[in-house]
Chain A
Amino acid sequence: MKEIHEMTAVEISEKIKCGELGAEECAAVFLDRAEKYDGVLNCFTYIDRETVLKRAAEVQKGVKSGRYSGRLAGAVVAVKDNICVKDMPASCGSKILKNFTAPYNATVINRLEDEGVIVLGKTNTDEFAMGSTTETSYFGPTLNPWDLSRVPGGSSGGSAACVSAGLAPLALGTDTGGSIRQPCSFCGVSGLKPTYSAVSRFGLIAYASSFDQIGPIAKNIDDCAALYSVICGKDFSDSTSSYVNFDYGRAVTPDVRGKKIGVLTDFSGGKIDAGVKSAVLKSAEIFEELGAEVEEISMPCLEYCVPAYYILACAQASSNLARYDAVKFGFRAENCKSADELYIKSRSEGFGIEAKRRIMLGNFLLSAGYYETYYKKALKAREYIKNEFLRIFENFDLIITPVAPSTAPKLGASLKRPLEMYLADAYTAAVNLASLPACSCPCGFDPNNLPIGFQLIGKPFAEEEIIGAAKAFEEAAHFYKNPPVTNLSGGGSQ
């Protein structure tokens, strides 16, 4: 029989509901594993054993009484540290929020609690989700469970790595320009970036408001679908949220026969590793064998995605991060002689360099005289790119692309070449620009035995269609594997 940490969340919940396993027992397994391995991996920024076990006992009662009967009742979920969970820290990987305790729940957390899902702890992230390596966190980098000398990707690196290493069966990540899909790809797990507006952002600490989306990370697409079905839908606390019609059962029915899939692996100005390219092309062949019609497509406008994305994201970030002024909450620098000095010192000491550079870039882009050249132009480019995608979707049902042009880089390698790091976001950021849904699925390994992932992009609100296709792929070619966590120092043989 599978160990508990090898099971999917849906499997764990089934066993809890039929009495085969207890919610506390399951939660304890993950707490133990986190204790054992997280000293090295650094996936979590906060975990409190007592709170988790107390909640697990409540949930267990609720399962018995029939209060919690959903697909994920009793399962634990790790939550990225930019999502507010009442009475837990919400630090966003930043010194400026290191002492901040959320006084309220994000809407997604309320929905999970109503479902009897247990919050295990908060996971590491690039500072304010700005980055694609989880190295910009104030709490130090998270390591990739596949190779401890490498990054797990980011910014949801803590969430992806903890699922990969079996420290949690499920996690919530957030995706602004690829921050769910890219770490999933680097860690060999599955993730879904929902259509913009499908999941409430209330309680998600904003990086770039018009892109940010919360989404699920899990071992397989089924679990992603199950978690998504709980968190999606209209929320009156988020004016930008939408009504969503999503059916879990329909979604996880394998379905790709007769679908038209466009394959996109190249674009002007982009570089791609041969191993990644061939894994994605091989996946396209698998889809073809499953009965899909596959055709290569090109999208010349892809090279404009990163510029447009960075302009909009940094400009919004500069405004979103202006509230960290040491007045109402957060880090306050000492020995200031005026309110202005208080702002400057607190912000200078509280933010890391990545946040600072994006704030400053954003301030430049919005400053007097530049709005039209940059922000307004980027808004138009966004619309243009959205239209290009919709044009392609007139003839195709889905688009398959690499998630990232390479597998996980070595620690420290990316930050030295920021422009290259930004460029690597092209495939994923394009999807955020167009507000589309996309999932990331493992689809092979490179010669260094590092996971590779593809992303499947769908039409607006076509999450069911994406998941159905991913499910068909998963059944035909299962690339999910346990990473070599057993080699971690402190970890014994399992």
Chain B
Amino acid sequence: MQTDAKLIEHLESLSKIELTREEREFVTDDLRQILGYIGKLSQLDTDGVEPSARFALPQELRSDDAKGGMGSREILKNAPAQKDGYFTVLKTLG
């Protein structure tokens, strides 16, 4: 695996993060090391290992009974931007 500039750029795009130049150097270096390190997991023979079966049954699930929500005022308290009871962001679609 090559941790070249293109990969970092791709990961930045997937992560919606833009690194500074120093950060990029650091992360590139770090990623190279970490990937080399975790790559050794391939040496562990896990053939025939089945995932454990912890599961829920239908009757343990939530019943379809409504509870009041939080009220838009409470919900919007933490909103970075809002208008008329709506959250707002800059226009999304062109």
Contact = CB atoms under 8 A, between A and B. Distances in A.
Contact of B41 (A101, A104, A311, A328): A311
Given A339-B91, A378-B41, A363 B30 contact: no
Interface in B1-26: 7-8, 10-12, 14-19, 23, 26
Contacts of B43: 304
B27 A330 contact: no
* A interface majority secondary structure: helix
A387 B49 contact: yes
A100 B92 CA distance: 24
Given A301-B44, A327-B89, A383-B52, A347 B30 contact: no
A363 B11 contact: yes
Contacts of A36: none
A328 B79 contact: yes
Interface stretch (A3-11, A248-256, A352-360, A392-400): A352-360
B80 interface: yes
Contacts of B23: 353, 356
Nearest to B39: A307
B70 interface: yes
Contacts of B70: 103-104
B11 A418 contact: no
Taking residues whose C-beta sits less than 8 angstroms from the other chain, chain A's interface range is 35 or more
B46 A336 contact: no
A379 B41 CA distance: 11
A103 B78 contact: yes
Given A330-B78, A383-B51, A360 B15 contact: yes
A329 B79 CA distance: 5
B20 to A, nearest CB: 8
A357 B51 contact: no
Nearest to A385: B44
Interface in A295-339: 301, 303-304, 306-308, 310-311, 318, 322, 325-332, 336-339
Interface in B56-94: 56, 62, 70, 74-75, 77-81, 87, 89-92
Contacts of A344: 16-18
Interface residues of B, number: 47
A383 to B, nearest CB: 5
Contacts of A103: 70, 74-75, 77-78
Contacts of A46: none
Contacts of A326: 80
4 A-B pairs closest in CB distance: A329-B78, A332-B80, A380-B46, A307-B38
Interface of B: 7-8, 10-12, 14-19, 23, 26-27, 30-31, 33-35, 37-44, 46, 49-52, 56, 62, 70, 74-75, 77-81, 87, 89-92
Interface of A: 99-101, 103-104, 236, 239, 301, 303-304, 306-308, 310-311, 318, 322, 325-332, 336-345, 347-348, 351, 353, 356-357, 359-361, 363-364, 367, 373-374, 377-381, 383-384, 386-387, 418-419, 422
9 contacts: A307-B41, A327-B89, A332-B80, A347-B17, A356-B19, A360-B27, A364-B7, A367-B11, A384-B44
